[in-house]
Each structure stands twice: as C-alpha cells, then as structure tokens.
Amino acid sequence: MYQNLRSPAIHRALTGPEAPNPVAISDRQVRSHMAAIRRDWADRASREHLAEEHAKAIAIAEETARTAALRSALNSRSTLGAAYLNTALKAQELVARLRGLYAPTQAELSGPAGAPLGLTVTLADHPAEHLDPAEEARRFRQLAIDIEAEAASEAADQLSEES
C-alpha cells in the first residue's frame, strides 16, 4: 500500500490525522524497517528470480512498443499519433537497453596469430650505476654528512623555539 513512498510520507500516513488507526512510530523506526525489508528482499532474490524478472520487463517493454506503434498508426492524422510514436520509440530503446545492446563491446588485443602481446621494456642506464665503488662510498658519506647537518639544524631550531 505504501509502495514507492519515501519514509517521511509513510510516517505521515501511519501517524497523521488521516490515518484510520494511528501508530506510535518514529521516522527513524520507519527508515529502519524499510532497510530491513530491503535486506530481506536482497537475501531472497536469487539469480533465477532476477532472470525471470528481467525477462518479464523485456516482454512488457516489447508489448508496450507494439501497442504504441499500432495506436500511432491508427491515430496518424492527429497529434495523438505522434505521442504514441514517441512512446513506441522509447519502449524500443528500453528493450535494447534491457537486452544489453548498448553495453560496451570488449576488444581484446593480441599479437601475431592470436598470441599474447610481448612487451619489451628497456630501462635507460643511470649515471650513478657507472661510478666506481670508491666514488660511490664518497657520495654516500657526503649524503650522510648533509643529512646529519640538516637534523642538527632542525634540533637547534626546536631548542630556540622552546626557549
């Protein structure tokens, strides 16, 4: 009876002055109950049931398209015929969408004769890779000295801010 109504409207219908037997329930309780019903529906919905509902929706849309096209032809000399034609076109678009005709197509890339693609990645050499071990050790020592100096500077700044 309260199908397609939102929780505030259901709350008003149950508790308002026009309710034949008003119920003492809060809006939050109504929302909670609606969520529980949705969870129950989702638990009970099986793949077969969903497939059946999908097929039923397609059949209804196809029947709507046929009926609207027939009525459009019968009323072709009036604006009512154009309205029926518009309805028929929308129903045909719905049928195509329900059948998945608007779904993106999957494009699969492959190599020669369907083989997988082979990717060759060559990384450029970094100049640091060509340093002799003594030069590399010198650079690491200098890096350590720089980091220690920066840490000492930050510690001195903290001490001056605290005092």
- The whole-angstrom separation of Cα 36 and Cα 47 is 21
What are 41's two structure tokens? Answer: 């529906």
Average pLDDT of every residue of the chain: 86
Q: Kindly report, residue by residue over 23-75, the tens digit of the pLDDT.
A: 888 889 989 988 888 888 777 777 777 888 889 999 999 999 999 999 999 99
The better pLDDT of the pair 119, 153 is held by: 153
* Chain mean position to CA 94: 20
111 confidence band (pLDDT: 50, 70, 90): confident
- Average confidence (pLDDT) over 112-137: 80
Rounded to 10 deg, the angle between the 79-98 and 47-74 helix axes is: 160
Across 18-22, 66-70, 77-81, 115-119, least confident range: 115-119
For residue 1, the model assigns a pLDDT of 59
CB neighbours of residue 68 within 10 Å: 20
In sequence order, the 6+-apart residues with CB closer than 8 A to the CB of 102 are 96
What are 132's two structure tokens? Answer: 């002799």
- The whole-angstrom separation of Cα 15 and Cα 33 is 15
